[in-house]
Structure 1
């Protein structure tokens, strides 16, 4: 009788829903990259820092895999990171640039304001509305994408290769694209971004 119950329990476990992190496909947009390349800009990421104080990836990983609150933070930095931001700030017009991310374990790319660069806060802190980033964190064999301001999980595949970043100062919007697949990853609503902002890139190892 006990053996029958154990077999029934094992059979029931096979039908218990398992937690999933879905990845939704996006369709390529014809002519997207040709249009964006009209606004390509060159600049230097000359301001560099390597530290453990900004809890970018630890906070994002905790949100993804431990389901803690948005205001949770780790005690001390546990992940070494390299961050760099542009020597030029943008206030008008349209600008497009790309960053190679395929060899990065964790990464973040986008724009930030000078007011945030001078802080020693986590990028995902609720008080930080001065950075507009696409963030990727890796845990085991899974990658999770987030955007900041506000912190939002994206259930799409991680880009392999280059991520494109498009700034439209006239509309006050920022967009991220998967260059290889010619797909839109995320677009901020018009008017969310105020200026000036600087290009920003961060990677953790």
Structure 2
């Protein structure tokens, strides 16, 4: 490695270590605040239960204290935090990757519309068979490459500007119909962007890991080194690293793909993976 890159790597690792330490301290403080908030709610609950047996005049007199306690508890309510590490740019990484660049990589494209039941209607599934169940339509644009890679090194970029929810990567098998998009393969390397609560997070399929980095907003680069069984993802706009899958022995050709839209967050996107019984037990949580 060039001395300049070694120095840059050292600085980045030191900065990330400090960031991670600060985030851990913030999380510990958040846990402490949550414990305090829970105790305040318990005390408030006890007071409210006790007031149920009081006369109306006594209730009116105690109302001011209750409102004050409620305001205090609301002030103590811990704010959610998003543990996100800085994406440090890597000097020259895109110049190196562009030596293996393949353009127009996703030659096949289709739009999928799929109707699913919303959560409200599903709630009545077991209790009221006569309740109306309104379907909700999700849609997405799926692009893939008909010709698979079976050797060599390849780098391509995809644009995710138009959607905050997406799935991309490479897979042995890609099944696309008018209403569904499915991946079925032991050899699949997938990066997801999905909304959870008020935040969008990145996570990968192998192993199922959340990536605590800023979500790419523009171009994502994918580098496939087939002969060495390596797949890596980069934030091409920031020239930063996202994730590198653990090297594995590849035995089947791999096809690049990209899915954009609300379809990516629905049950209509199905990703199948085959695990041994030992792996299944180890992945339960």
**After TM superposition, is the score higher than 0.5?**
yes
Among 152, 155, 162, the alignment partner of 1:96 is: 155
Partner SS state of residue 259, structure 2: strand
Q: Which moved more, 1:7-16 or 1:89-98?
A: 7-16
Q: Distance in 1 between matches of 2:69 and 2:136?
A: 47
State the match for 2:259 in structure 1. 202
Report matched runs for 1:34-73 at 5 Å: 34-52=95-113
Between the two proteins, the alignment pairs up a number of residues equal to 183
1:46 is displaced (CA, Å) by: 2.7
Q: Which has the higher contact order (CA 8 A, sep 6+)?
A: 1
Q: Distance in 2 between matches of 1:3 and 1:129?
A: 62
1:16 is displaced (CA, Å) by: 2.9
Long gaps (5+) in structure 1: 56-61, 63-75
Partner SS state of residue 185, structure 1: strand
State the match for 2:175 in structure 1. 117
Report matched runs for 1:8-157 at 5 Å: 8-52=69-113, 78-114=137-173, 116-117=174-175, 129-138=186-195, 142-157=199-214
TM-score by length of 2: 0.55
State the match for 2:42 in structure 1. none
State the match for 2:222 in structure 1. 165
Task: Looking at secondary structure, tell me which structure has more helix per residue.
Answer: 2
Long gaps (5+) in structure 2: 1-61, 120-134, 263-285
Larger Rg belongs to: 2
1:192 is displaced (CA, Å) by: 6.3
Partner SS state of residue 150, structure 2: coil
1:47 is displaced (CA, Å) by: 2.7
TM-score by length of 1: 0.74
1:31 is displaced (CA, Å) by: 1.6
Partner SS state of residue 17, structure 1: coil
Cα RMSD of the aligned pairs, angstroms, is: 3.1
Determine if contact 1:83/1:203 at 8 Å carries over to the other structure.
Answer: yes
State the match for 2:265 in structure 1. none
